[in-house]
Amino acid sequence: MSGSAGALFIAVFLACVVEAVEATTIVLAAGTARDWRSAGTGTGAALAVLAVFVAALGPAVTAIPLRGLRVVVGALLLVFGVQWVRKAVLRASGHKARHDEDKLFAEHLALARGQSARRFLLAPDSYGFTLAFKGVLLEGLEVVFIVLTFGANASNVGLAAIAAGCAVVLVAIAGFLVRAPLARVPENTMKFVVGIMLTSFGVFWGGEGAGAAWPGSDAALLVIIPAVALLSLGLVWLLRRLDGGATAAGVSAASVDLAPAGEAR
């Protein structure tokens, strides 16, 4: 596997792991609080809708001229990537609460247990069906978007699909073996890495689509990705330092204000 193919596999795999963890958490909450048959039926229905969506959209995406596709997708990846990196930097620097899968699971669980049971077609419980369906469909659409855009841009949809499949199967098996939220998965770290990868691919593909010729072609990713990572980590360091400086200044000012009357200030 070449370096660019390896980078593609890792980027798609990690991005899909994040989406799969969130979808699995919702399905587990629906099954635990309501009814496993309903949660399974909702999951199956969502997967069927996603299959139809991929069958309809896949050929359309791959039919778009590659240069135009790279400009559009590069811009989209930059938008998503910068948002992910921004949130990750704020979390890592302590300016934003870290994503807590246990808390998310507890919230879905409490909400699900408070709903009345109603039958829906083959599902014994309509709420459990709807909760699982919405969770899998929404997160699944993210996976489809990642696979089609990354795969089409790299002219390797097959590899992107394999990476996504590995991520989804791995997370689903882990989730249902332990029947608990995957809180031990370092999701905040993965989101940081995925944000860096999305931003890097966005820069690379957007530049190619705009007509730029990267030195070394695909090997340029080996420079772009570390550069984006160093910039992101530098922002974390800077925010922590600024926050620490502001805290120290506040403590110093408080000490001066509390000094006894008559003391030198």
pLDDT tens sequence across 173-221 = 887 777 666 656 666 777 787 788 778 877 887 787 777 777 876 678 7
Quote the CA–CA distance of 265 and 259 in Å, as a whole number: 8
Q: What is the pLDDT of residue 230?
A: 92
Fill in the amino acid letter for 21.
V
pLDDT band at 253 (very low <50, low <70, confident <90, very high): very low
Give me the chain's average pLDDT, please.
74
pLDDT tens sequence across 22-41 = 888 788 877 776 677 888 88
Average pLDDT over residues 73-90: 79
Using CA atoms, how far residue 96 sits from 87, 187, 232, in Å, is 7, 15, 15
Q: What is the pLDDT of residue 263?
A: 46
Helix 126-153 crosses helix 3-33 at what angle (to 10 degrees)?
180
Average pLDDT over residues 232-244: 84
Q: What is the pLDDT of residue 114?
A: 54
Tokens of 162: 């394999």
Residue 188 or residue 143, greater confidence: 143
Fill in the amino acid letter for 142.
E
User: Is residue 116's pLDDT more than 80?
Assistant: no
Q: Report, in angstroms and rounded to the nearest whole number, the Rg of the chain calculated over CA atoms.
A: 23
Residue 97 or residue 24, greater confidence: 24
Residue 219 or residue 58, greater confidence: 219
Which of 77-86, 91-100, 119-128, 151-160 is least confident? 119-128
Fill in the amino acid letter for 127.
Y
